Amino acid sequence: MPDITRRAALGGLSLAAALAVSPARALDGPLADLVTSADDFWTAVDAYIYGYPLVTMELTRRVITNVTEVKGTRGPMGHLIKLREYPNATFRDVTAPNADTLYTTSFIDVGDEPWVFSFPDMGDRYFLFPMLDGWTNVFQVPGKRTTGGAAQTFAITGPGWSGTLPPGITQYKSPTAIVWLLGRIYCTGTPEDYATVHKIQDACKLQPLSTWGKNYTPPRGKVDQSVDMKTAVREQVNRMSAGEYFGELCELMKRNPPAEADAPALERFASIGIVPGQSFDKAKLDATFEKRVPEIGFDRIMSHFKFSDGDVQQVNGWGFTTKTGLYGTNYTQRALVTAIGLGANRPQDAVYPTSLKDGNGPLARSYDGSNNYVVNFTKGHLPPAAGFWSITMYDEGYFFVANPIDRYSISARQDLKANPDGSVDIFIQNKSPGADKESNWLPAPKGKFYLMMRLYWPEESNPSILDGSWVIPPVKRLG
């Protein structure tokens, strides 16, 4: 994937970006100047926050699909992008990659006609195929948790579509024309399991409804030279002037309509010319808003991390949120998740606790490979997940760490050794803890590093991270 947010790797929600950003610019900056039209200014800021997901999703789509054929993490509209193996420590295409699931993804436009997607029988393998609309809501999640492992064929229909589907095809209604299919299939990473998952990926089919029942080969894509393929998408969005931004937002809303629950907000936004179905007249925007609205809008998005009234939690040195995937009218949370982890799942499917400092309370320090660390899971209290759990090591650039055993994450598939009391220690350090403990070793770099835990299909009953009945243990600095 392109470097969408510098912390988002195909939908892994990382709080690290927010943790590393100051909560807001000082009030002696842009806010210090009096704004002539105060009410309109703050309405524009709210509209900026409201539209951030839709504008970001569209620019992401343009970058990912601006190629003639599938290559690596990019592919034209309607083509299935199939990632075939996990990256190693030399990989630099995206930050915060994972070594747990292989992605099968595509951007499609269902505004003119439905698209049909099918996948084969998955048996007992964990997988999910979440679908995001243009506003980043996960409107459907066929997968092991929701529909079981049997083969399935479904049609994704757009807003306002009415028609009859062929027998045996399930209808999933998208609220918008833009749809991002962001499938993940669990894989152990062995050559044998790679081969098995590749067969599953190759059996997945995606095509327009009008071609159903026929042999279909997606057409080659077309490259738009005006699309910036080098600058991170978030930077592209953030450098837009208010006029450019609202112009883009209004054009996008013509095919990606707002939800009914947004009516009160849209009534306010109409006062500054933002009306669904209509183009935006930049000439009517207060000239003083052009730079200030994006600056203040993005500051408010990022400050939500610290002042979120419970939307983001801090537990024993780990930061995480369980308010992802479906946002209702919580527009600031929706924008924050877009900024730091575009493509996030519903919490019932995945939670991503991230840690930048050890859990030594008031003496907590940033992680550094010159120290040794341990996280202890008491007997019966490993991360409770019905899909899988893992802890991934990242260097200060959020890339995998080269190490003598080529281990970039640790999970139950490492055949972890328990202590005599039944508890399990994970040793996080630069050098091996010894042959007898190496099964429980997560290698660290010599310098700074960060940790991310992944809980896919977290347990929903006690103990559960979703209701707080399972508490993440701290990572203790030794010595």
| Type of residue at 429 | Q
Nearest to 168 by CA among 158, 157, 153: 153
Residue 95's pLDDT is what? 80
The whole-number average pLDDT for the span 363-388 is 97
Residue 310's pLDDT is what? 81
Q: Which two tokens stand for residue 356?
A: 């930048």
The whole-number average pLDDT for the span 218-227 is 97
| Type of residue at 313 | Q
Q: Full-prediction pTM beyond 0.85?
A: yes
Q: Give CA–CA dist 394/378, Å, rounded.
A: 25
Residue 173's pLDDT is what? 98
CA 27 to chain centre: 31
Q: Which of 13-22, 34-43, 197-206, 417-426 has the lowest mean pLDDT?
A: 13-22
What are the residue ranges of helices labelled H in 75-210? 144-147, 191-203
Residue 31's pLDDT is what? 47
Residue 291, pLDDT > 60, answer yes
Residue 308's pLDDT is what? 75
Q: Which two tokens stand for residue 281?
A: 């007249």
Q: Give CA–CA dist 59/236, Å, rounded.
A: 8
Residue 67's SS3 state is coil
Nearest to 451 by CA among 300, 323, 316: 316
Q: What is the pLDDT of residues 230-252, one digit of tens each?
A: 999 999 999 999 999 999 999 99
Residue 37's pLDDT is what? 63
In the chain, the domains with their CATH numbers are: 1-315 (2.60.40.1610), 353-477 (2.60.120.600)
Residue 22's pLDDT is what? 37
DSSP assignment string, 362-413: GG--B-BTTS-EEEEEPTT-S--EEEEEEEEEEETTS-----TT---EEEGG
Q: Which two tokens stand for residue 473?
A: 């243990």
Q: Which two tokens stand for residue 325?
A: 């995937």
Mean model confidence pLDDT for the chain: 92
Residue 276's SS3 state is coil
Where in 233-368 does DSSP place strands (E)? 313-315, 318-320, 350-351, 354-355
